[in-house]
Amino acid sequence: MDEAMKQSGFLLIDKPKGWTSFDIVAKLRSICKIKKIGHAGTLDPMATGLLIVAIGREATKRIDEFKAQEKVYEAEIEFGMVSDTYDTEGKVERLELSVDRLERGVIEKGLKSFIGEIEQMPPAFSAKKIKGVPAYKLARQGKEVDLKPSIVEIKTIEILNFDWPKLELEITCGPGTYIRSLAHDLGQDLQVGAILTVLKRTRIGNFDLSQAVKLEQLTIDNWQSFVLKI
């Protein structure tokens, strides 16, 4: 069957930990037998949650619409550590702190400075491109990564749980926001260091993780029944 005649639309995928967003696309190409597939917003391998995947030529033309939409994340941050990747995937160093712990009120005050439009530096280990080369490739080679800060919008930050040294947050933000950078910058501001230990994307625009399907549920015979016409 010609690609143009196959069902085109969007799959809401619940990305498992350890998979890159491209891994998901590659797997779906093998299931759907369609080459024209793309995702709307990268999730790091350590992250889980909602990934919108466009199936077919007409759907992939609309990917930028979803990249521009508001996103919601649940994140776990651990204080007292730093990492070159700002998460658990890199070289993690535990710090000797001059304080035993920070009180919740201090952390709440620190978080308030990140609400609204802020200037945020992307992680060196990111997909941001420098002269066409992803920053993470340069960083892995030990080369200098000359990234520029971006203006991003963080709409809300809610503390879900706090049990020192771990902090669980729900973050609503605009496109281009790095939760890894938020974790790192918070740790720097509070002078205790912090890394991102868990990240789950729960919403993109009006689409919720509860609507998503797991990869193992999809087969060559049933995938079309999960496709959304948006």
Question: What CATH number labels 3-68+206-226?
Answer: 3.30.2350.10
pLDDT at residue 144 in the model? 65
On the question of pLDDT at 175 being above 90, the answer is yes
Over range 78-88, report the average pLDDT.
Answer: 95
pLDDT at residue 4 in the model? 46
Q: Which residues are catalytic?
A: 44
* Helix 104-112 and helix 179-189, axial crossing angle in degrees, nearest 10: 120
Output the pTM of the full model. Answer: 0.91
Question: Degrees (nearest 5) of the Cα angle 33, 37, 40?
Answer: 150
Rg (CA), the chain: 19
Over range 108-123, report the average pLDDT.
Answer: 96
Q: CATH 3.30.2350.10 residue ranges in the chain? A: 3-68+206-226, 71-204
How far apart CA 16 and CA 173 sit, in angstroms, is: 22
Over range 38-63, report the average pLDDT.
Answer: 94
Q: For residue 165, is the peptide bond before it cis, meaning its omega torsion is within 30 degrees of 0?
A: yes
Half-sphere exposure of 210 (CA within 13 A, CB side): 1
Per the model's pLDDT, the better-predicted residue between 56 and 146 turns out to be: 56
Half-sphere exposure of 66 (CA within 13 A, CB side): 25
- Over the stretch 177-221, which tens digit does the pLDDT of each residue have? 999 999 999 999 999 999 999 999 999 999 999 999 999 999 999
Kindly state which CATH superfamily the domain 71-204 is placed in: Pseudouridine synthase (3.30.2350.10)
Which of the four pLDDT bands, split at 50, 70 and 90, describes residue 98? Answer: confident
> CA of 67: how far to CAs of 14, 105, 146, in Å?
17, 34, 24
Q: Say how many C-beta atoms besides its own lie within 10 A of residue 111's C-beta.
A: 20
Half-sphere exposure of 72 (CA within 13 A, CB side): 12
Q: Give the pair of three-digit tokens for residue 176.
A: 């281009």
On the question of pLDDT at 131 being above 70, the answer is no
pLDDT at residue 124 in the model? 74
